[in-house]
Amino acid sequence: MNTTETENISGLKREDFQTTVNGKKTDLYILRNSQGNEVAITNYGGAVVAIMVPDKNGKMANVIQGHDNIQDVINSPEPFLSVLIGRYGNRICKGQFQLHGKKYQLATNDGPNHLHGGPTGFHTKVWDAQQMNDHSLILKYVSSYGEEGFTGEMEIWVAYIFNDDNELVIKYQATTNKETIVNLTHHGFFSLSGIANPTPSVESQLLEVNADYYLPIDKVSIPTGEIRFVEGTPFDFRTPKTIGQDINADNEQLKNGQGYDHNYVLNKNEEGELSFAARVTEPVSGRTMEVYTTEPGLQIYTGNFLSGISGQFGATFPRRSAICLEAQHFPDTPNHPYFPSVVLYPGQTYTQKTIYKFGVVD
């Protein structure tokens, strides 16, 4: 079926996303729902390049940071801008881990550490794409044995569904032919005020996180191994407060992350249940976004390392102009045996489901 008509409310053009990378074709796919809202995705890295939703007055805007053509997606100064992440989301200390008695060395692409699957991780791959209908897209990729230093050949499917409740549902599935580690996520950079030149800071937005604990980090953003209570710290978002209220507090953890860049331990009744994780409210536009996930962790990142890069249609993305809510297992899990396991065995299926639900309040 035709993936996109020439007309869409994001203004993106399909032909601007069509090229060939390593013999595979890239394209643009538009998902629509009955509310008249849209999500635009390219199969290069599974990048979500537009989420068009209304504010409280019905005014449409793109609430995710992205580019307006494939070359800018490929060459983005922020390689992880609103893309799929794998095989391992977040950091692994010194890029090293042990599995069945063997030591593995991954690329160190974030200071001394491995980050987000490495420089040629899933965010740089052209996925096989099949648009099922107006509101769903299936991406598939086979990660070869040894790719980026990981063991096992892994087959991954990701489904994007944009339903009539304005929920962007992302479902993941993966299998392997050899024991390996996996931690998949999507790195959406959300700007609920709408991207602009410059895109406004997220510091005035209200954030609520359903977590009593978070993971402190060292100076190079690796979890110390402690699981710390949020109460009495700048990390307590159990009741909504503005992102900016404590972001510049004199706090060692905030200094280590240059703001929020920490994994929250989500409150769960049982492992793997789909439950409420977080809510963001943008007070001026009235836009809201709720996050639900089956994952045990949620990395909250406040765009501390954005540097005013150029994005779609002249928009710019300054420091702290986005919030990322990356549902995942914990960073550096292979080196912390008591963190929830990220090992996947042959015969098992890795699954994950995360929902980003958009709405408005007066």
Q: Residues near 178 by Cβ (< 8 Å), separated by ≥ 6? A: 145, 151, 152, 153, 346
Selecting among 187, 282, 290, 329, the annotated active-site residue is 187
Does the annotation count 123 as an active-site position? no
The candidate with the shortest Cα–Cα distance to 182, out of 352, 306, 55, 64, is: 352
Structure tokens at 217: 């980090």
- Whole-angstrom Cα distance, residue 180 to residue 153? 9
Amino acid, single-letter form, for residue 58: G
Selecting among 38, 262, 326, 329, the annotated active-site residue is 326
Structure tokens at 93: 């200390």
- Whole-angstrom Cα distance, residue 73 to residue 10? 16
Does the annotation count 252 as an active-site position? no
Structure tokens at 18: 């069509």
> Is 152:128 a contact under the CB 8 Å cutoff?
no
CA 322 vs CA 241, 276, 304, 349: distances in Å = 16, 21, 9, 33
- Whole-angstrom Cα distance, residue 13 to residue 219? 42
Q: Residues near 107 by Cβ (< 8 Å), separated by ≥ 6? A: 95, 114, 118, 119, 148, 149
Known catalytic residues are 187, 326
